[in-house]
Amino acid sequence: MVRKPATLKDVAALANVSRATAARALNSYGYVGGETALKVQAAAEQLGYRSNRLAQALRNGQLPIVGCILGDIQNPFFARIAHDIEVIARERGHNLVIGSSEEVLQLEISLLGSLQSLSIRGFIVAPTSADDNGHLQQLVSNNVPLVLIDRVAEGVDCDSVVVDNEGGARKAVEYLITMGHRRIGLLQDDMRIFTSRERRSGYRAALSANGISLDDRMIAVSQSTVEHAVDATIRLFSQKAPPTALFTVDSLMTQGALLAFRSMGISIPHDVSLIGFDDFNLATFTDPQITVVSQPVSEIGRVAARLLFERLSGQDAPPQKIRFETKLVVRGSVSRHSAG
Give the footprint of DNA on this chain (CB under 7 A). Answer: 4, 7-9, 16-21, 23-24, 26-27, 29-37, 49, 51-52, 55-56, 58-61
CB of 56 to DNA, least distance (A): 4
Report if residue 3 touches a copy of itself, rule: CB under 8 A. Answer: yes
Quote the CA–CA distance of 127 and 71 in Å, as a whole number. Answer: 8
Report if residue 317 touches a copy of itself, rule: CB under 8 A. Answer: no
Report if residue 282 touches a copy of itself, rule: CB under 8 A. Answer: yes
Q: Is the dihedral of CA 82, 283, 179, 186 positive or negative?
A: negative
CB of 309 to a copy of itself, least distance (A): 17
Cα–Cα distances (Å) from 221 to 18, 130, 166, 180, 217, in that order, read 66, 17, 18, 24, 11
Q: What angle do CA 154, 155, 158 make, to 5 degrees?
A: 100
Among 9, 20, 46, 83, binds a copy of itself (CB under 8 A): 83
27's contact among a copy of itself, DNA, none, with CB below 5 to 8 A by partner kind, is: DNA
18's contact among a copy of itself, DNA, none, with CB below 5 to 8 A by partner kind, is: DNA
Count of helix runs (H) and strand runs (E) in the chain: 12, 12
Q: What angle do CA 41, 42, 43 make, to 5 degrees?
A: 90
- When the beta carbons of 33 and 134 are compared against DNA, the nearer one is 33
CB of 24 to DNA, least distance (A): 6
Q: Which amino acid is at 63?
A: L
Among 80, 228, 302, 306, binds a copy of itself (CB under 8 A): 80
CB of 204 to a copy of itself, least distance (A): 30
Quote the CA–CA distance of 133 and 219 in Å, as a whole number. Answer: 27
Q: Taking a C-beta distance cutoff of 8 angstroms, is the pair 270, 209 a contact?
A: no
Q: What angle do CA 77, 80, 83 make, to 5 degrees?
A: 150
CB of 61 to DNA, least distance (A): 7
Residue 184 Rama label (left phi>0; alpha psi -120 to 50; beta): beta
Query: What is the Cβ-side half-sphere exposure of residue 26, based on CA atoms within 13 angstroms?
Result: 23
CB of 145 to DNA, least distance (A): 18
Report if residue 7 touches a copy of itself, rule: CB under 8 A. Answer: no
Residues that bind a copy of itself (CB under 8 A): 1-3, 5, 50-55, 57-58, 63, 65, 72-74, 76, 79-80, 82-83, 86-87, 90, 93, 95-100, 111, 113-119, 141-143, 226, 255, 258, 281-282, 285-287
